[in-house]
Structure 1
Amino acid sequence: MIKRNLRCLTSLLSAALLASCSCSRGAYLFTSFREPATAGLRLLYSYDGYKWQDLGCTFLKPMVGPAKLLRDPSIAQGPDGTYHLVWTCGWKGDKGFGYASSKDLIHWSKQQFVDVMSQEPTTVNVWAPEIFYDQGTRQFLIVWASTIPFRFPKGQEDEDNNHRLYYTTTTDFQTFTPAKLYLDPGFSAIDSEVLRRGPHDYVLVVKDNTRPERDIKVAFGPTALGPFPAVSKPFTANFTEGPS
């Protein structure tokens, strides 16, 4: 127990160094989780983006949502240095995602359950929320995948597994814009990631979750909200995990 506590203390100190600006060597930060998904947030770091080191303990235990899970954690840093974390709260039955913030990745705010799909009572799930800070509009964009049965052509998927991407925006994490459709690419889409390459040049990476595809595709648009008129052919093999 003492050794374990010492390892966790070392990990916490490492996280504090990664979160601070005093570290002269830049590092990449990776948010992750392990099963059981009730355990909490895990952090990994890398100096080159290829070799990753797990910090060795959990940093935030999920306390919100019906199932109190923490899956698919996504993090973004705001202009004031605050880290904002969102995550999947459950497999099915919930209509929102989890949220918490931190200045140092160790001490976290009170967790919130952000209800975004109650206006669609037949919503099956809210999966893999991805958070992105848009410098141009000075707001946070959160994109996730939800299934609303019989809303879209299902192809080979079951009605309760036919996802499309939805989004909300916020500036303060107290008020959120009503959820809107973000992307209907004509197939079941999950696990999106938005990136900014330059002015009026945004990249959307998305997983095609239809069988037998289960691969990664990309689209380009002039703003973080798109439009993304043309989704590419897959650039990965089938049965590839979603981007992060």
Structure 2
Amino acid sequence: MPSRSRWALIPLISALLLTLLARPAAAADPFTAYLMAHFTGESATGEQIYFATSTDGLHWTDLNGSQPVLMSAVGEKGVRDPSLVRSPAGDKFWLLATDLRIASGKGWDAAQHAGSTKLVIWESADLVTWSAPRLADVAGSIPQAGCAWAPEAIYDPETGDYVVYWATISPANGVDKARIYYSRTKDFRTFTPAQLYIDRPGTQGVIDTQIIEVAGGTGGYRYIRASGDGQISVEGSNRVLGAWTRLGDLSGLGLTGSQVEGPVLHKFNDRNEWGLWVDQYASGRGYLPLTTTNPAALSGYRIRGTGEYALGASRKRHGTILPITQAQLTALTAKWATATTGTTRLQSFNFTDRYVRHADFDARIDASVSPAADARWRIVPGLADKSHVSLESANFPGYYLRHSDFDFTLSPYDGSTAFAADATFKRIPGLADGSAVSFQSYNHPTRYLRHYGYLLRLDEITTATGRADATFRAVS
């Protein structure tokens, strides 16, 4: 039985334990770099997701050799205006984007008035490995909604969920124009019905709203938002869904809504300074940075000179900037350092000027492939059997050559057994030349990858022509 002195120690030990348990956990890794997600324009692959990183928030390095890192194979099979969202705990990320592909030839009128009312959403735990894209029909309940553009989201501590907001064009109250609507969500899968968020008087529309939380309420406001409404207007509020005060616009700097769009706000990691980037869409020059020490005071914004920033090789259109840690920067760089390192081209045996390539998710053999990275592949362990191989796109990591009904497409791996089998091949000596290579189907072993009419197919091979069509040379 403990002595009285030992009993006396128990309250002291308990108090010490409570103190240790109440002590704050070790600080999270500091933000030392930045990740930008963006699209580049209306080219064949321009309306997809591109990544760039920076260590100072002004000078950017393209990832994946200036090629897309994520591709949308859902909805309109194109995405614009991406937005990165971090959970409060920093353990989950979402990427939201407009479901739109102008390069398909649909035209702007159809895009505005008969376009998709859905958002494209990816999610990730580490910014490196992303889910397959999915659609969320956030604007479908808005009467005569014509689109759902430039989605953004911000965590609302008052309600413990996220406010997702976007622009929809619809003829509400007899006026057909763009307004900002919002929904709430906890998981980016289930959304509350859309509600009107921002409207401007008369016929003036409003698009491209972005909100940032300002720690400490610099300038007297906890939240600052920028929108395109004929100008790039800046507003302040102390609540996400509260009353907002107009603080001014960028017209004093010679930047109006007819010249720039897609404002992106962010804070620099190492100093009391904020950036406001605007997309120079009218001149086609991509993003232009402005900086300030008080985002609520329009007189303090300064346009950075051309020698003060660098955007990398690709043109950067309406995107998003997220602060990241050194570990996240290292992982992103390792994943997408270049598009072609360790890759191979597959040269046709009987059409030696042509190479296996992807084009708009189709698979074929072409000469003079542009961009050249479309004809580069990583020959990786088979998804269904590691003793065999799969063909992963060099410039679209996570996308593989896969047959379906004996036709080939470039498709994102969905984790299914069926996909893995369809994308796995036995690499064998070339059917027409043993020094070359042929690819025998894993799940249809009597069939081989071959070209026919320059398109890739999975066929049974019974003739000399078929053997030549099914033979390739792996070249650098």
TM-score normalised per structure 2: 0.41
Would you say the 8 A contact 1:59–1:106 is kept in 2? no
Q: Structure 1 residues 54 and 135, CA, compared in 2 at 3 Å: closer, same or farther?
A: farther
Tell me the CA shift for residue 82 of structure 1.
1.2
1:69 is aligned to: 78
How far 1:54 moved relative to its partner? Answer: 1.3
2: CA distance between counterparts of 1:151 and 1:87?
28
Q: Deviations over 1:136-172 (max 9, x none)?
A: 433222110111125364xxxxx3xx21101111111
Contact 2:235-2:248 within 8 A present in 1 as well: no
Structure 1 residue 243 and structure 2 residue 263: aligned?
Answer: yes
Matches for 1:208-227 after TM superposition, within 5 Å: 208=229, 213=230, 215-227=231-243
2:40 is equivalent to residue 34 of structure 1: yes
1:204 aligns with 2:252: no
Residue by residue, what CA displacement relative to the aligned partner does 1:7-40 show, whole Å, maximum 9, x if unpaired? Answer: xxxxxxxxxxxxxx87x77101111012337552
Instruction: Work out the CA distance in 1 between the residues paired with 2:164 and 2:82.
Output: 12
- Runs of 4 or more, structure 1, over 6 Å off, are none
Partner of 1:52: 60
Residues in 1 aligned to 2:35 and 2:127: alpha-carbon distance in whole angstroms? 11
- Matched residue type, 1:219: E
Q: Give the share of equivalent positions with the same residue, in percent.
A: 33
In structure 2, give the amino acid aligned to 1:71. R
Whole-Å separation in 2 of the counterparts to 1:84 and 1:114: 13
Q: 1:81 to 1:121 in 2, by over 3 A?
A: same
CA deviation profile, 1:77-105 (whole Å, cap 9, x unmatched): 11242110100002342111111101232
Tell me, which stretches of 5 or more residues in structure 1 are unaligned? 1-20, 154-158
Amino acid at match of 1:30: M
- Structure of greater relative contact order (alpha carbons < 8 Å, 6+ residues apart): 2
> Secondary structure, in 3 states, of the residue corresponding to 1:26?
strand
Higher helix share: 2
Structure having the higher Rg: 2
SS of equivalent to 1:176 = coil
Gaps of 5+ in 2: 1-27, 101-110, 265-476
SS at match of 2:91: coil
Q: CA RMSD in A?
A: 2.2
The aligned residue for residue 233 of structure 1 is 248
1:182 aligned partner, one-letter code: Y
- Name 1:89's counterpart in structure 2: 99
Q: Secondary structure at the match of 2:180?
A: strand
TM-score by length of 1: 0.77
